[in-house]
Amino acid sequence: MPTALIAEDEPLLAAGLQAELTRLWPELQVIAQVCDGCSALAQTLQQRPDIGFFDIRMPGMTGLEAAQALAEDWPEGTPFPLLVFVTAYDQYAVQAFEAQAVDYLVKPVDGARLAACIERLKKRLADRAAPAAAGAALDQTLNQLRALLGAGGASPAPAAALPRLEVIQASVGNLVHMVPVDEVLYFEAADKYLRVVTAEREHLIRLSLRELLPQLDPQKFWQVHRSLVVRASAITTALRDESGKVYLTLRGRPERLTASRLYAHLFKGM
């Protein structure tokens, strides 16, 4: 019996989706219903449903961020869930999702559109039963997520380009350290702070990776994990393990950093 998880922060819409799924696909068992992105991630990892219906806009973590984290933390050898994104975006965004072949539903969910989605899900579940299909399904999902994340999550309009950040102003009490961005080896999200790490020391600043990334040169700084951005020229080695994760060593730092499967494609021999 196929299983599903619904992640939707509006209770009436979640109840409506579950009722329609029960009507159109009685064999489908909805094993969990959550209302925020962090719970969507935790419950999907714990219960491993066949299908996840993820709302795009949720508290704590968006549907795309939850899917990104899921792809990074998913256990090797286990079939990755088929993800359906639920969105209230306009037709521009719908076309962006459709172009990436990630299935989607528009709020309020239309019965005919849901029925078509169910038929696609049934076919993909049947195809996934083939012995070599699990890895291919995960690869397809990773490619789709890379494309959507690279497009800014299919937002309705491109954000205005921000000027490149030249200096990080890291304060400690009344003292402000002026850290040239050219000296930074990596940035790492840590709770409500961002670690700014150079060869000599590290600083903490109150800024999210989401706010920082548009201000960095993507040719110089690579996002290699949802919580980690590394200066490309500082990487000395990249070692891939059997699960698809990549372990990085940096010039001037003793620690080893982890790049997730979602970003492993950045490290290929020439």
Give per-residue pLDDT as tens, 72-96.
888 877 888 999 988 887 555 566 5
User: Does residue 41 register a pLDDT over 60?
Assistant: yes
Fold annotation for 3-150: Rossmann fold (3.40.50)
Please provide the average confidence, as pLDDT, over all residues in the chain: 86
71 vs 2 pLDDT, higher one? 2
Residue carrying the six token digits 């965004």: 93
Q: Is the pLDDT of residue 133 over 70?
A: no
167-266 CATH fold: OB fold (Dihydrolipoamide Acetyltransferase, E2P) (2.40.50)
In degrees, to the nearest 5, what angle opens at C-alpha 133 toward C-alphas 129 and 139? 140
Q: What pLDDT score was predicted for residue 128?
A: 77
pTM metric for this prediction: 0.74
pLDDT band at residue 156 using 50, 70 and 90 as cut-offs = very low
Q: Tens digits of per-residue pLDDT, 200-221?
A: 999 999 998 889 999 999 999 9
Q: DSSP characters for the chain? A: --EEEEE-S-HHHHHHHHHHHHHH-TT-EEEEEESSHHHHHHHHHHH--SEEEEESS-SSS-HHHHHHHHHHHPPTTSPPPEEEEEE---HHHHHHHHHTT-EEEESSPPHHHHHHHHHHHHHHHHHHTSTTHHHHHHHHHHHHHHHHHHTTTT-SSPPPPPPPP-EEEEEETTEEEEEEGGGEEEEEEETTEEEEEESS-EEEES--HHHHGGGS-TTTEEEEETTEEEEGGGEEEEEE-TTS-EEEEETT---EEEE-GGGGGG----
- Of the chain, the percentage scoring pLDDT greater than 90 comes to 56
User: Token pair for residue 70?
Assistant: 């899921």
Q: Give the domain ranges of the chain.
A: 3-150, 167-266
- What is the pLDDT, as a whole number, of residue 91? 58
